Structure 1
């Protein structure tokens, strides 16, 4: 049709050139013999060979990049729409369909799912435009080295702030101070939910400190490690019913501050933390929102301080002053909830970053 329109216009121009002005006026005064269609948006192939882009003069609408979840972490599955409905993340097309591998922009690979012989990795050679993301939400203490993967990845995803994709629920600043926060009703003084009581790092770890602290103050303990299973739907209500919660990490590393801190803050309980130094915590939350075990010479001194706060309402309430200026939200009330946030965060990243990167010697970075 476009060739016909071009031909018609050429003939009309020729007629004008030869003085056929009368004929032209006649043609323009009547319905056209050929209806020329409007200019349609052009379809062009993106240089990476797989994005289809629709172009017109007023708007460019490019398809979302595709993020392939190569393996479900710990075989734990969730609704892929949760990224949109829970975290308002909709920057990529998230899929677990391996048949799309050849046309996938990025592949998310869970470290613990990589076999020692590397046979569980995606096939090589990878498409030249494709990025591989190393996903590891565990600390170095709980991460096994797998020889041969150090230079395979383009991007790193972990709890570390210097990762390409750092994963963490963060406090949200309030535009208008909130003076109406009410501390939930408290029925218990100190609580702890723990599913694994393995003593990862020897003397000075969370189990050692717990045993010493429990000599001086009663601690309500829940979780598989101590035989009292707590259903997921009861997790946050139980924490909210305690004045203090033991936010003890299973190992101590820079930035290794997990949902054990965020959960109590979100539901109105004061976390008592054991992990990296106080200054590291203060990179993420106000210093007056938590109690650090390092602030006390021993567990007995900490227990005495908690008991004083139990009878001093004004002093206890000061641990919630940060609520005027910030809000906190809990993780999803699901098993392995940190995987949901990590996967959705990766989706957000690939939707916003088109540049190609390479990560070299991830073990040198992660373990040192």
Structure 2
């Protein structure tokens, strides 16, 4: 019988456990997991080694074409000759490498071979480092039109029985280079266009437009025929304008704006700067009184979208249209409250739903973001599209919500925002329903429900699609893209005789003309 007390037994037990733990710890200390700092150090080290290796290989390993060229010019033996020893191979490789690098850096090495009787060898093409060559408008290396994916999107391939946009013909085809083309310098454009300027703003127009070269190369500021400046919020940070004191008097300075005053009103005072306000000769805008109208859409384009050869007879087209319609109204919106108009239209939409409108809504404001194909299907299966603009009573502002999401998707737009007078001048007759024609949201909902049940009355809003097409209007004058707007600018600067004017104030034109009230500025 043990004479140890319970406390002594407990101490002994703890001592033995600690002893065993030390044994285990000594056995496993070499296998404990490494600290995160070890990983970081080794990742950095491996990255540096990889970078150094890539630099050495890219700088000191000549391509097969360059090395073979120099070896032929200098009469050197092949680098990897079977008869040469390892040391000879290394010496030849080093010599060929140094010679190649000298030849690449000094083109005179290649020029000395012209007097040689050996067959002439064409040196590999080098990247241009000459500023004059980069500024040369005949340098087409980076202005290749044939491989431009943006142009392929603008010229869709028609499939049998499929409705597509009208083909652009050849107005973006490069003209024959018989003379130096007029240059349109885009000094500033929309943010996404400037980000992808090589694809969006570097190309030649075809003869239909006047054969102009479009570029963003500011080195051509003094010799360009037209200089385009886009109105953007960047003006608040930097007055990025060309020097008007050194301007060529024969140039056109063009003011380009696509947003409503509701979005640009916050920095309107910047436009009054004397370096900016009085220097322009032409305007590009969605307004009908602009020198070049930058369309979101137009009647003639929508008529050509539904060509007669693709419609068959009226009754068959109407039957196919009605089979797709199983919803009443749809609305896609992502701008919830960035402007006064956006806030007010959300209130109006909620009042329509409260009055009983069966509305399918999606977008960021409703937490639903369908893909492009899903969105098109949603638009086409509804009878009405809620074309609610984010601005109120801004002259001629009828955006793609009306044209693309409404008419082009086979729906009847319900308009809110533009004035009745403006929409009547722009849109096809009896193709839309204006909210201001109804005293209350309840009366508008009642009328939409009536059209939903009365097919004859509803189809009257689609009768405009079968109006005759005016083929005398060139396609480049109606296509609703910025490229076609710049095409029309190219036509303008090629007009003879040249009619020059100076806009006294683009601020006054943009903010103080054709406004029925002050709702556009809120």
TM value normalised by structure 1: 0.71
Query: What displacement does 1:285 show?
Result: 1.9
Counterpart position of 1:186 = 325
What is the rounded CA distance, in whole Å, between the counterparts of 1:80 and 1:203 in structure 2?
Answer: 31
What is the rounded CA distance, in whole Å, between the counterparts of 1:231 and 1:353 in structure 2?
Answer: 41
Query: What displacement does 1:97 show?
Result: 2.6
The structure with the larger Rg is 2
Structure 1, residues 67-121: CA drift from partner, whole Å, max 9, x if none? Answer: 1222340234454589979xx8675222223333232111221110542365422
Structure 1, residues 118-167: CA drift from partner, whole Å, max 9, x if none? Answer: 54223443222222211111111111311312212111111111111111
What is the rounded CA distance, in whole Å, between the counterparts of 1:202 and 1:265 in structure 2?
Answer: 22
Contact 2:330 2:382 in 1 (8 A): yes
* 2:403 is equivalent to residue 259 of structure 1: no
Change in 2 beyond 3 A, CA 1:72/1:136? closer
SS of aligned partner of 2:452: helix
Structure 1, residues 254-311: CA drift from partner, whole Å, max 9, x if none? Answer: 2111111111112211000012222221112233100000111111111111112112
* 2:193 is equivalent to residue 66 of structure 1: no
Change in 2 beyond 3 A, CA 1:89/1:320? farther
SS of aligned partner of 1:344: helix
In structure 2, stretches of 5+ residues that fail to align are 1-135, 139-177, 470-479, 513-522
The within-5 A match list for 1:278-357 is: 278-325=420-467, 341-354=481-494, 355=498, 356-357=500-501
Contact 2:186 2:201 in 1 (8 A): no
Name the structure, 1 or 2, with higher relative contact order (CA <8 Å, separation 6+). Answer: 1
**Which of 214, 221, 232 matches 1:101?**
221
What is the rounded CA distance, in whole Å, between the counterparts of 1:171 and 1:83 in structure 2?
Answer: 28
Q: More helix by proportion, 1 or 2?
A: 2
Change in 2 beyond 3 A, CA 1:84/1:234? farther
Change in 2 beyond 3 A, CA 1:228/1:361? same
Query: What displacement does 1:201 show?
Result: 2.9
What is the rounded CA distance, in whole Å, between the counterparts of 1:298 and 1:89 in structure 2?
Answer: 48
The within-5 A match list for 1:25-36 is: none
Number of aligned positions between the proteins = 299
Structure 1, residues 37-67: CA drift from partner, whole Å, max 9, x if none? Answer: xxxxxxxxxxxxx999xxxxxxxx7654221
* 2:232 is equivalent to residue 92 of structure 1: no
**Which of 95, 120, 126 matches 2:240?**
120
Contact 1:199 1:205 in 2 (8 A): no
Change in 2 beyond 3 A, CA 1:230/1:135? farther
Structure 1, residues 326-366: CA drift from partner, whole Å, max 9, x if none? Answer: 67xxxxxxxxxxxx823530332232334333111111121
Contact 2:204 2:213 in 1 (8 A): no
What is the rounded CA distance, in whole Å, between the counterparts of 1:166 and 1:83 in structure 2?
Answer: 21
Contact 1:83 1:344 in 2 (8 A): no
Q: What root-mean-square deviation, in Å, do the aligned CA atoms of Structure 1 and Structure 2 show?
A: 3.3
Counterpart position of 1:18 = none
* 2:292 is equivalent to residue 165 of structure 1: yes
Change in 2 beyond 3 A, CA 1:202/1:342? closer
Counterpart position of 1:276 = 418
Counterpart position of 1:367 = 511
Change in 2 beyond 3 A, CA 1:302/1:138? same
